[in-house]
Structure formats: structure tokens, C-alpha cells
Structure 1
Amino acid sequence: MFFASPLKAFNTFDTDLRRNLLILFAAGLLFWSSTAAFLPTLPLYIQDVGGSKQEIGIVMGGFAIGLLLFRPMLGKLADKRGRKLVLLIGTAVAAIAPFGYLVFTSIPLLFWLRIFHGISIAAFTTGYTALVADLAPVAIRGEIISYMSLTAPIGLAVGPAIGGYLQETSGYSRLFLFTATIAFIGLLCASQVINPPLNSQHQSEHQNSNFWQILASPRVRVPALVMLLVGTSVGAVHIFVSLFIKSTEVSFNGGWFFTVSAISSFTIRVFAGRASDRFGRGLFITFGIAAYTLACVLLWQANNTNAFLISAIAEGCGGGTMISMITTMMADRSLPQERGQIFAICMAGFDLGIAIAAPIFGYVSEFVGYRNMFAYSATLTFLALLIFLTLSNKNLSNSLRFALGRGEDAFSLNNIN
């Protein structure tokens, strides 16, 4: 059932396009499996080498600092030198970084290593998303982007489960070697991608804009702010949920939280992308932000296995709709020649949120505990929901209609793209 619609869409493509998308999908699956294996295990590793709650937050936040510092320049590189180059950079860093965890045990060195590791997602996701958006036919762009984005939830389902298992049964060394190996295989896949030339027929007045000019544009500013607020909340969940579950003494492996979340994300993406081509992106972005809010509220109140499972499902629904649909919305709002930069700048909001979440919520948890910390994260996502409902388009009326699926996106460039 799940794969019938994707296969139908892919069978309409020519051989070269289908091959490109399948290679990209394989590279993405391997990349995300490698990256996700660290979610439930690295906070425990930092704790085992002597890190405090705040130091765990600081080290984990280094990943987002690497994202934030390098994504804008990698976005520009993707527009100027092609998407494949940044794909290769991302997978190469993902293959190299795990060896550093084998060697370093001091908190300062782990922090710098984590910054380096953050370059992997900055590069890979920018190149991957821009290339998929370039290749996807406009009429079914939401459907194709959603199908291709399934690599993240599948990887997030497989990676944490295997990572948690290896950490518990074989130790950290085999875990780190596993992540390096599958990332290297992903690098081999990425090297086979054919990077089509960008269509330079249309010129954009924004094409030569710098970072701040693009960010100030109303088509980018509000989505970036929404991503900042949601990213801060998501960072709190991803970094501290395993430690919170452990502190409650509930018999529930933190890795399974990410696995259930990923399965939920996978399931909803199969349907949401295709539906967004018909009903618009705004409705599904609204739903996704609301789901994130619900997930944080549930974590705030969680005290048994079922509560953690339901929260994980809500978390997956948020990620499966909001992030992929904002990505698709930004593809609608950009031309190919600027798409890498637009994606990079919008996602930089998410990166910054994760970067500040780690030290801020690490500090907050020292005083109010992990449980009450999630009440603060729910407040941030609720604020993001209000901003999107009222400011996502050219005025309040248009914003409400777009966010509720009752109107079109006034910033969409589909008529010339």
C-alpha cells in the first residue's frame, strides 16, 4: 500500500531521472542511518566519559554550530559548483567523523569534533534537497520531495535502533565503526549521482543577493523564524529525551523513541506530499507545528511507556509534515539558480535553534529538571504556530487562508519556474 503510489510516480520518469533519484535515495538512507545512530548513544557516551548535563548540551550543540556556520556558504557552493560536490562533502565528513569519537574522550575535543561532524548535514541536506527540487516536475513537486525525504525517517528508524543495540551489546567502538562504514558506502553512492546543469534561462532579481538580503525577504524571513523556534524545541527533545527516559526509570529504550517517531514520520510523508500538491503546503505546515507542540506537552506529562510512545508518534507527525512541507514551499518560492542558498538560509533557522537549544536547555534542566524543560519547549512551538498562522503570507487574511489550506501562496514562483 505505502509503496504503490511512489512506484507509480517513479515509473513515469525516464531512465536517467529514475536512476538518479534511486541513487540519491540510497545515499540518503545510508547517510541518515549513520547520523541517527548517534542520537540515543552520544549523550550517554559523553555522560560516561564524565560530562555533566550542561556539558552534554554544549557538546551536542556543537553539531548545530557546524551546521549554522557552514550551511550558507555550502548553499552558495551548491548553486555555483553544482549539488553533487556538496553531497560528496557531506558524506565524506560523515564517514570521517566517527573515527574521532574512537580517539577523543575530553569534553573540549569532543565539542570541536561535533562541530566538524555538523558539516555533514549542512552539506548533504543542502545538496540533496536542492537536487531533488531541481529534478521534480512542478505539478508533483510536493509528492516527489516527500517520497525522497523518506530517507530521513527510515534512517532515523534504523540508525537509533542499531546504534542503541551496538552500544549496549558491543560497546562504543563497534558503534562508531559501524557509522563510519555505512557513511562511506553512502559516499560511494553519492559519487555516482549525475549532476544536471542548472537552467539559466530565467534570471532572478534575488539571484545575486547576499545572506542578509535573502533573509530579509518576506518569502524567507517568516519560514526561517518558524524554523528557529521549532528547531530550538526539537533540539531539546533530540538531545535530552534519552536522558529523561532513563531518569524516569520507565522500562523504555531511548532509541525506540526515535524509531517510533521515524515510523510515524515515514507513514505521514507518504500521504502528505501528494495531498499538498492539491491542498497547498500551508495546511500541512500548520498541522506539523501543532503536532510538535503536542509531542512536547505529552513529554512534559509522560510517566509510562504508552505516554512516551504517543509522544514519539506526535513528534514523527511533526517532522514528517512541517520540515518536508517548508522545504517544498521554499522550492515553490525560489528559482533553480538561487535554490541552494534559499534552502540553506531557511534551514539555518532550524540549525540555530538546535545550536542554542543544547546549552540553554542543558542549563534550564539543571534547575527545573528534564520534565519541566519540555513545557518550555512546547511554548516555543506554540509561538511558532501563531506566527505562521498570522504572518506566513502578505497580510493577515492571506496568511490565515494559506495556513489553513484555504488560499494559495502569494510568494510562489511556480508560474515562472
Structure 2
Amino acid sequence: MTEKRPIWTKSFVNISISTFFVFVVFYALLTYMPLYVLNELNGTATEAGLVISVFLLSAIIMRFLSGMILEKFGKKRMLLISVFLFAVSTVLYLVVESFTGLLWLRLFHGIWFSLLTTVAGAIAADIIPPERRGEGLGYYGIAMNLAVVVGPFIVLTLKQYVSAHIIFVVLAVIILIGFLCAWAVNVEEESFSKQPKHKLSINDFLEKKTMPIATVGFLIAFAYASVIAFISVYAESLGLIKTASFFFLVYAMAMLIVRPITGRLFDTVGPKVVIIPSIIIFGVGLIALSITEVSWMLLLSGALIGLGYGTLLPSFQSLAIQAADKNRSGYATGTFFAFYDSGIAIGSVLLGLIAGIAGYANLYLMLGVFVILVVFYYMWIASKQDAQTR
């Protein structure tokens, strides 16, 4: 019996901590930016939404270029460059005073967030022993999921006591710690012979082998956008706004409990055993949201969504990377997150329009059914890939 190679190496710990701080800043700004535009810059609701959309747009565009950039310049170099410029972008919020300047900064910030999270995910996948990748990426994904709770908590707490200037200083200090952790990551770069110049093709922007599972990720992210964008508004309409602040806390706790188990099952039994139940549980969580009337039902929905969706993202990322050749892990990561980010962005806009017509309860009911039906699409994709590997 061969001994298991360790997951928790110095480099894995540091890339996980660095990623955690990056996402803390990301989710903190995602929560705070609309409030900042409305209260500090006297902007409109449309302008408040625009500062989020511009960031996501630049991030999505860069996803398609990130694989080519990582291959050309190397993962460690791009990790340090992107985390440094992400930190610089965070500091620049201290000096931007106009809405136009803020838009340009959000565009710039989105570029480095996209590159940074792509290269960090690719490095994490490379560091983890291949036979334990499902488990390892499950642990790595905890950093992103915990940041969903920590980032908003920091800014919403600070907002009550300090100025916007101090909030931006705190976020700058947080990302500085992330930068220092990134320095401590050791990366084994693939050695390639210099490739002759060639005409650009789809392979320079996307990893085609990853696209089937990336489309499943897109559909799940599309549905999850309703949770990110509208849970507070929905809770307020039910008179449960105080409970809403605990929604993501319960989500994170449920995810933390189940993640080590599902990660090991992914590696030892196979992805279907993890992914199919997780999609169903996520769908049931959305249906539970649609019939929520009291606090405990809202928190139960958060637990179900944490159990289901919280397991899916690292599972899909593992499959995306496994589908590609080892030297294209950057392309695979960029392709997967391009689809995932697009699902969040399109869902945030389109589902808002549907909610305006059908109401939030009906929206969550429809999405719950939609997510459960995604199981059949995933099974079809998995069966095709199984047939190809025989």
C-alpha cells in the first residue's frame, strides 16, 4: 500500500491563505462599493450597479486570455505580478474621488483579480498530489467560501464606526498579508521548448477538453447568482432581514462540515457520487427558499445550499483540470472560471428581470427545479466522457 502524499505543504498553506485574503477583499468591496457610490459619491442606483458590472466584465474578458499569459510568463511570476497589482488597485481606492475615476479603477482591479485567481487556482491544482486533487481542491475552496462571510462582515461592521478612508486602509493591509503569503509559494514550472510563432486559435483562449464541465458550472453559477444578488432583498420582503446576516454563516458552517468528507469521496469513489447528490441538495435548498416564511426556514435553506453548492465548485474545478493535459492547467482553470463568472454575471441581470415579473419566491422555485434538471445534463456529459476513455 503506497503512502498518501501530503496536501498541507508549506506552498499549499500559503496559496490558500493568500487566496483567502484576496477573496476577503473581493467580497468586502462587492458589498461595500454600491453603498460607497450611493453615500460617499452621491451616485444613483444604476451607477451603484455599474461599479460591480464593470469589474466582472473585465474579469471575464481576462479569463479567456489568462491561460496564454500564464504559459508565456510563468505561473510564479504572474502570481506575484497579479497579487502586487491587485494590492496596488486596492490602495488606489484611497485616492479616487470621482465616479468616472472609480469606474476606471474597477476595470483595472477586475483584470488583476481575474489573473490572480486563475493562476492561484492553477498553482493549487499543481501543488496537490493528483490522486488527492478532489480532497485538496475542496480544502482550497474553503478559502473562497469563508471569504463570503468574512469580507462582508468586516466592511459592514467597520462602516458603523469608521470612515470610508479607514475601510480602504484596512482592506489594503489585508491584501498586503496575501501578497507576503504569495511570495512563500514554490512553483515547479513546466519546461517547454520555445514554440514557433503561429496564428492565434481557440486553443490560445480556451481549453476545449474542459468546456463540457465548464458548461455545467455555468448553469449552476447562473442559479447561484440569485442567492448572491437577491437573498438580502428577499429576506427583507419577508421581514427576516436580521436573520439574513446569519444566512451565509450557516452556509459556511454546513460547507465546512461536509467538505472534507466529499473531497475524499471524490477521489476514492468518483465524482458522480459527490456531484449528483450535491446538485440535488442545492436545488432542494432553492426550493426551500421559495417556501420560506420564518427564520429557521431561511437558515435551513442556507445550510442546504452550503451542503450542495459549497461542494460543487471545487468538484467542477477538479474535473476541469483533470480533463486537460498537465501543461494546460492554466488554460483549464481560466476556461472554467470564464464560464462560471459569466453565469454569475448573466444570472445577476437576467434573474433580476424575472424576479421583477414573477416575484422572488417563484424565482427560487423555478431555479430549484432548473438546478435539479441540470443533474440529467451532467449525467449525459459524464457518460460521454466515460465512453471516450474506454
How much has 1:66 moved relative to structure 2?
A: 2.0
Superposed, 1:85-104 pairs within 5 Å as: 85-99=77-91
Q: Separation in 2 of the partners of 1:106 and 1:378?
A: 41
Q: Separation in 2 of the partners of 1:59 and 1:51?
A: 11
Paired amino acid for 2:304:
A
Q: List alignment gaps of at least 5 residues for structure 2.
A: none
Tell me whether 1:28 sits opposite 2:19 in the alignment: yes
Q: Separation in 2 of the partners of 1:87 and 1:154?
A: 21
Q: Separation in 2 of the partners of 1:229 and 1:194?
A: 34
With the length of structure 2 as denominator, give the TM-score of the two structures: 0.84
Paired amino acid for 1:330:
A
How much has 1:122 moved relative to structure 2?
A: 1.7
Cα distance change of structure 1 residues 240 and 251 upon mapping to structure 2, 3 Å threshold: closer
How much has 1:104 moved relative to structure 2?
A: 5.8
How much has 1:338 moved relative to structure 2?
A: 1.0
Residue of structure 2 in register with 1:161 after alignment = 153
Cα distance change of structure 1 residues 237 and 103 upon mapping to structure 2, 3 Å threshold: farther
Q: Deviations over 1:76-102 (max 9, x none)?
A: 222332222332344334424445555
Residue of structure 2 in register with 1:405 after alignment = none
Superposed, 1:114-153 pairs within 5 Å as: 114-153=106-145
Aligned length: 381
Superposed, 1:188-227 pairs within 5 Å as: 188-198=180-190, 210-211=202-203, 214=206, 217=208, 219-227=209-217
Paired amino acid for 2:10:
R
Superposed, 1:291-306 pairs within 5 Å as: 291-306=281-296
Q: Separation in 1 of the partners of 2:295 and 2:238?
A: 10
Residue of structure 1 in register with 2:313 after alignment = 323
Residue of structure 1 in register with 2:60 after alignment = 68
Query: Do the aligned partners of 1:161 and 1:259 also contact (CA within 8 Å) in 2?
Result: no
Query: Do the aligned partners of 1:57 and 1:359 also contact (CA within 8 Å) in 2?
Result: no
Residue of structure 1 in register with 2:225 after alignment = 235
Q: Separation in 2 of the partners of 1:342 and 1:352?
A: 15
Residue of structure 2 in register with 1:82 after alignment = 74
Tell me whether 1:279 sits opposite 2:279 in the alignment: no
Query: Do the aligned partners of 1:75 and 1:341 also contact (CA within 8 Å) in 2?
Result: yes
How much has 1:382 moved relative to structure 2?
A: 3.3
Residue of structure 1 in register with 2:299 after alignment = 309
Q: Separation in 1 of the partners of 2:112 and 2:189?
A: 24
Cα distance change of structure 1 residues 352 and 140 upon mapping to structure 2, 3 Å threshold: same
How much has 1:253 moved relative to structure 2?
A: 5.6
Tell me whether 1:51 sits opposite 2:40 in the alignment: no
Q: Separation in 2 of the partners of 1:184 and 1:312?
A: 32
Query: Do the aligned partners of 2:205 and 2:331 also contact (CA within 8 Å) in 1?
Result: no
Cα distance change of structure 1 residues 292 and 18 upon mapping to structure 2, 3 Å threshold: same
Query: Do the aligned partners of 1:91 and 1:187 also contact (CA within 8 Å) in 2?
Result: yes
Query: Do the aligned partners of 1:26 and 1:189 also contact (CA within 8 Å) in 2?
Result: yes
Paired amino acid for 1:184:
L
Q: Separation in 2 of the partners of 1:160 and 1:118?
A: 18
With the length of structure 1 as denominator, give the TM-score of the two structures: 0.79
Query: Do the aligned partners of 2:64 and 2:205 also contact (CA within 8 Å) in 1?
Result: no
Paired amino acid for 1:250:
L
Q: Separation in 1 of the partners of 2:236 and 2:86?
A: 28
Paired amino acid for 1:61:
S
